[in-house]
Amino acid sequence: MKASMRSLMICICIVLHVVSPCHAKDGAVEARNGMVVCVSPAAADVGVAILKKGGTAVDATVAVALAMAVTYPPAGNIGGGGFMLVYLGGNEKPIVFEYRETAPKAVNRESFVNEKSPHTHKAVGVPGTVRGMELAHKKFGKLPWKDVVMPAVKLAEEGFPLTDSMARSLNGMLKATKENAEFQRCFGKADGSPWKVGDILVQKDLGKTLRAIAVEGPNAFYTGLLAELLEKEMKTGGGFITKDDLAGYKANERVPIHGSYRGHDVYGASPPSSGGTCLVQMLNIMENFDVKKHERYSPETIHLMAEASRRAFCDRARWLGDPDFTKIPDHLATKEYAKKLAQGIDLKHATKSESLADDIPLGKDGDSTTHFSIIDSKGMAVSNTYTLENSYGSRVVVKGAGYLLNNEMFDFNWKPGVTTRTGGIGTKPNEIAPGKRMLSSQSPTIIAKDGKPLLITGSPGSRTIINTVFGIVVSVVDYGMDVQSAVDAPRMHHQWFPDEIRFEGVKEYPDLVKKLKEMGHKVEYSKQGDGHSIWIDPKTGTYRGAADKRIDGKAAGY
């Protein structure tokens, strides 16, 4: 009886596969027609609903991004910026929609030399999210703009139930911002008690702002009353942004960084993101070694990954910035250059980071982003990463508009010429200039083969983003790990300075850590990333969504 019942359930799952997702043994969610994976369960459901209505992956991306401005205020936003990688498949060329924030006209390279706190009005860059969503929607959207924005309006005006992680996040930030009256008013509970699971968060002011964006169009955010409210907020707190800065903001279409890794195409975000360039360089270095003869968490593999990261992050500091302001060498993502870098790796000993950059003077030693992955029934794939920089950005809420502002100005090298062994970077390519876009580590990534997407991935985590994606790609391509296992696996990070490996598996792999230290590495524990990913089975076309539970998340499909 039990065996027949089990067979019946399997048959039901197969029959309903086109309309209902099934959970695989590894915890991934399987579907055939569309998949959304993100940190916010409510936003994931919004994205799937848009796909079911016949929307494209870009339609769903706009809906999810704006929904998360409501449901995930630590990083979901309309007051920040980011990068959207769209893969169409076949002979169509992928596109990056770059909507990184820009420096206001009133700043200069010395504007932040003496600034200590990132939580100020001065730290706010000109927001790009709404323009970025608009640009992508005009090119690849199918549903009306209003239809993809209104779900976010409903979530803000009617409220949504808090998850445990979101309730704890809000409670922590409310304790840290007791003197911030507008933050307390918008995000605090009316009776002053702590938030708990299931409580409904309503954001009326944000609902009005989103409704204006939905009904009047994206221009409503950059002109008129909303622009006046932002300018007024800046004047109140001593910030730099004006209505002219807002009116002049433009999102860009850019050509993705393209590389290959062991027969797979690799597409990533191009500058002003460093993510695609660094990832391709690191994978190119790894291709010079037969890592499969070692286990995934062997000292040999982790050593090679750390050495590849060390070199890519040194080049990141040396060369990368806004391409409209700095000349970026063409050789950084080439196989030939990676081979030269690989030849400098000692397989038995760690390289000293200082030895890689005699041309970068070293001074004396003295985050919150979010990523989501989407694919539609036609195979259009979107990898989108966007941010407010720190968790809840600058913690500045625009009075009367209800949305949080970024603190992205601190992603510039705000102390020119001061590069430190503790990780501060002061190199020229990413110095502040009016209208310039600050360098980012955001790494929305798509791995493809034979013109079809195989892996859609990315992560938050400041500079650790690149290594989170690096680890997921190596786990899937080199070691054949299923997507959920690759997302769950311990992560490693090395960013040139500080000269150390940060590793999630310190307790899990003590012998590995011991051997790395014997090789000359310093190893510290650190939790990193939130890599919501999708794997597309090349044989069956099944979508497998893997939510990363380090914070929260949901894979939703149909």
As a whole number of angstroms, the distance between CA 243 and CA 534 comes to 40
501-503/523-525 β-pairing: parallel
Per-residue HEC secondary structure of 376-414 comes to CCCCCEEEEEEEEECCCCCCCECCCCCCECCCHHHHCCC
As a whole number of angstroms, the distance between CA 70 and CA 93 comes to 33
Lookup: tokens for 470 = 């690096």
Question: Which is nearest to 465 in space by CA: 446, 493, 485?
Answer: 493
Active site residue 369: yes
Order the strands of the 523-525 sheet from edge to edge: 492-493, 501-503, 523-525
- How would you label 12-24 residue by residue, b for 16+ Cβ within 10 Å and e otherwise? eeeeebeeebbeb
Lookup: tokens for 524 = 């510290």
Under 8 Å between Cβ of 230 and 401: yes
Lookup: tokens for 315 = 């080049």
Torsion sign, CA atoms 209, 211, 212, 217: positive
As a whole number of angstroms, the distance between CA 351 and CA 425 comes to 20
- Beta-bridge mates of residue 457: 445
**Look-up: residue for tokens 């970068």?**
360
Lookup: tokens for 212 = 């204006």
Other CB atoms within 10 Å distance of the CB of residue 455:
26
Contacts 24+ apart (CB under 8 A), 225-234: 226/401, 229/398, 229/399, 229/400, 229/401, 230/398, 230/401, 230/405, 232/399, 233/121, 233/396, 233/398, 233/399, 233/405, 234/121, 234/124
* Torsion, Cα of 290, 293, 295, 300 (10° steps): -60
Other CB atoms within 10 Å distance of the CB of residue 337:
17
As a whole number of angstroms, the distance between CA 57 and CA 86 comes to 9
Q: How many CA atoms lie within 13 A of 165 on its CB side?
A: 13
Under 8 Å between Cβ of 263 and 478: no
Catalytic site residue from 369, 445, 457, 464: 369
Q: Which residues are catalytic?
A: 369
